[in-house]
Amino acid sequence: MKRLSVNINKIATLRNSRGGNNPNLIQVALDCERFGAQGITVHPRPDERHIRYNDVFELRKIVTTEFNIEGNCQEQKFVELVLANKPEQVTLVPDALGQLTSNHGWDTVTNQNYLREIIKIFKGAGIRVSIFVDPIPEMVEGAATTGTDRIELYTEAYATHFHQGKELAIAPYIEAAKIANQAGLGINAGHDLDLHNLAFFAKNLPHLDEVSIGHALICDALYYGLENAIQMYLGKLA
């Protein structure tokens, strides 16, 4: 079963734009679960322009599905935040300070020693670890020797080229997934997946465990409503 984790960063962005607590981030997370989402994802950044560090503590109290915290583990505050909350999963992303959105995966060869050490810390706390990687065989092979439990395939390239030729767009991801599976790694995916490209991706990517979707799903919720949007995305994963 392929699982849907809803990234609620954009809900926090909307809330922060006016101050106060509208929309209510905690209520949205509860509603996402009630509407069928199998996980909640957040990506706190140092400037707290969307998810605030305190949000993570409040969400940890109420999320009953899978709580996934993603972010830059090279920031000590992020490491401390994750260890204090012990989510079901932490996704390690090589963001730079002030980066608008994630735009590349780890170089798992160059950063091999670092990744082994930081992954050991999180796994020692009983947290499943996933690391963000591009669909490049060498990067997947490198990930397999870090001790991580899963990889998250960065899917922007797939989404960008989907309408130009979906078979070619997905080919590197199929190869990466095969390598990951042979190495015993779980497979997550995320970034720019939407109602147009998700079904083909989910149907053709072997051994896919989970997708994390935020921006597109929240945009669709403006037209279809949050409950309908979540059901539509779940339908694409069926």
- Contact by Cβ (8 Å): 170, 205: yes
Mean of pLDDT values over 171-188: 98
Mean of pLDDT values over 28-49: 96
DSSP state for residue 136 in the 8-state scheme: -
Mean of pLDDT values over 30-48: 96
Give the DSSP H/E element, type plus range, for residue 226: helix 226-237
Q: Which two tokens stand for residue 152?
A: 């998250």
Burial class (CB in 10 A: 0-12, 13-18, 19+), 76: exposed
Decide if pLDDT at 95 tops 90.
no
How do residues 189-222 score in pLDDT, each as one tens digit? 999 999 999 999 999 998 999 999 999 999 999 9
The predicted model scores a pTM of: 0.95
Domain at 3-237: CATH code: 3.20.20.70
Q: Tell me what pLDDT residue 62 has.
A: 98
Mean of pLDDT values over 44-57: 95
Active-site residues: which are they? 43, 70, 191
**Residue ranges of domains in the chain:** 3-237
Q: If pLDDT is split at 50, 70 and 90, which confidence band does 159 have?
A: very high
Nearest to 129 by CA among 88, 94, 76: 88
Q: Which CA distances in Å does 78 have to 2, 56, 86, 189?
A: 28, 11, 12, 21
Q: Tell me what pLDDT residue 96 has.
A: 65
SS3 content of the chain, % helix, strand, coil (to 5): 50, 15, 35
Max alpha carbon distance in the chain (Å)? 49
Instruction: Report the distance separating Cα 22 and Cα 233, nearest Å.
Output: 25
Q: If pLDDT is split at 50, 70 and 90, which confidence band does 116 have?
A: very high
